[in-house]
Homo-oligomer: A and B are copies of this chain.
Amino acid sequence: MPARLQEVAIRAGVSIKTVSNVVNGYAHVSPATRARVEEAVAALDYRPNLSARSLRGGRSGIIALAVPELAVPYFAELSQSVVRAAGLRGFTVLVDQTEGLPDRERLVLEGIRPHLIDGVIFSPLALGQDELARRQDRTPMVLLGERVEAGSMDHVAIDNVAAAREAVLHLAALGRTRIAALGAIRSAKGENARLRLAGYREGLEAAGLPFRSELVAEVRDFHRHDGAAGMARLMALEPPPDAVFAFSDLLALGALRACYDRDLRVPEDIAVVGFDDIEDGRYSAPSLTTVSPDKEHIARLAMDLLGTRLEERTAKGSGALEGTPAGGGSGGLGSAGPRDVLAPHRLIVRESTAGRGKR
């Protein structure tokens, strides 16, 4: 049974309020008193009750991170960065796995664990623009990846189109002419896939290469499995492609595996570029050329945006404390419009396009 504020106060011979002041670092406490209180806090191993604090103050210090799957390395690495960035700002992260299921994503939009969560960082997969834009819940939310034009949510992403274009231009610069795209997605899930496909077309055009629809392999998901299957279909073409731009590293890794199964040499027979720069790609054989989004940066930006919103909110909140009877409260909003932040990315050239440097 942990100590309460009350007991600390008694032991220190002061009032509850004073202990609270000390614990929360407020000024106007005499050094002597402060020392006594701190001694009592330590002696009793006092820890504030977050539920009580949150009930009272409306803030919990907890943010939710909603991602499709932790087991997908990109999300695992991103989550790691988010957890770290949140920690630096004093927040703990509650992870929600949507598994890319529409219903679970809707739950996120509607506010999981309301009252308990100060804000949400959400990486949607299944939900489209329209649904995202239609969100009701007022908990501050930052969107990762998927951009909502009409919506009112903050958003962090890299320039997917530009990144994809660079990847294709890199392949073209290597002299490849039949450059395939691996990762087109038909369903609503495909925001990222759509952007990368657009960048792929731009890249082809910039390189003076024709767009051939048969060189675009569709997938269901961005997993290794889909990559291997898609690659198998591409290799069955006559003539086959001499390069592949995969829309994720997992797809690319699956593609590499498919090449291995067919004894194709990478990059000699076929060059491969991925997207995400996950750790796996640095150790695969061959190592994977990839578009590297700065995940640390993305996480930090998302946390910054969320932090700002939370501050706005508490600032507003404390002002509107009056007893508000029948709902008239117009409550000045003033909240700045949705912000759209671009995180940096760069192309990392490795063996899957450049070959093995030294042997």
Contact = CB atoms under 8 A, between A and B. Distances in A.
A270 to B, nearest CB: 14
A176 interface: no
Contacts of A50: 51, 113-116
A354 B285 CA distance: 19
Interface string A107-149: 0000111111000000000000000000010000000000000
Interface string A334-359: 00000000000000000000000001
A283 to B, nearest CB: 5
Contact of A93 (B94, B256, B359): B94
Given A73-B76, A253-B283, A283-B253, A92 B96 contact: yes
A52 interface: yes
Interface string A262-300: 010000000000000001101111110000000000000
Contacts of A60: 51, 116
Interface residues of A, number: 53
Interface string A41-69: 00001010111101100001010000001
Most buried by B among A45, A62, A114: A114
Contacts of A47: 111, 114-115
Given A49-B116, A253-B283, A261-B359, 4 more contacts: A2-B114, A50-B51, A51-B52, A55-B55
A156 interface: no
A254 interface: yes
A158 interface: no
Given A51-B55, A51-B115, A71 B62 contact: no
Interface string A74-115: 001101100110010000111111000000000000011111
A58 to B, nearest CB: 9
A50 B256 CA distance: 48
Contact of A2 (B76, B87, B115): B115
A152 to B, nearest CB: 18
Nearest to A227: B283
Interface of A: 2, 45, 47, 49-52, 54-55, 60, 62, 69-71, 73, 76-77, 79-80, 83-84, 87, 92-97, 111-116, 136, 224, 228, 253-254, 256-257, 260-261, 263, 279-280, 282-287, 359
A224 B52 contact: no
B69 A80 contact: yes
Nearest to A358: B261
Nearest to A47: B114
B51 A70 contact: no
Contact of A54 (B51, B83, B84): B51
B97 A84 contact: yes
A253 B60 CA distance: 41
A116 B283 contact: no
Q: Which 4 A-B pairs have the closest CB atoms?
A: A76-B76, A260-B285, A51-B54, A51-B55
A114 B80 contact: no
Given A254-B283, A257-B283, A70 B83 contact: yes
Given A115-B47, A256-B285, A80 B70 contact: yes
Contact of A280 (B49, B51, B280): B280
Contact of A97 (B62, B73, B83, B260): B83
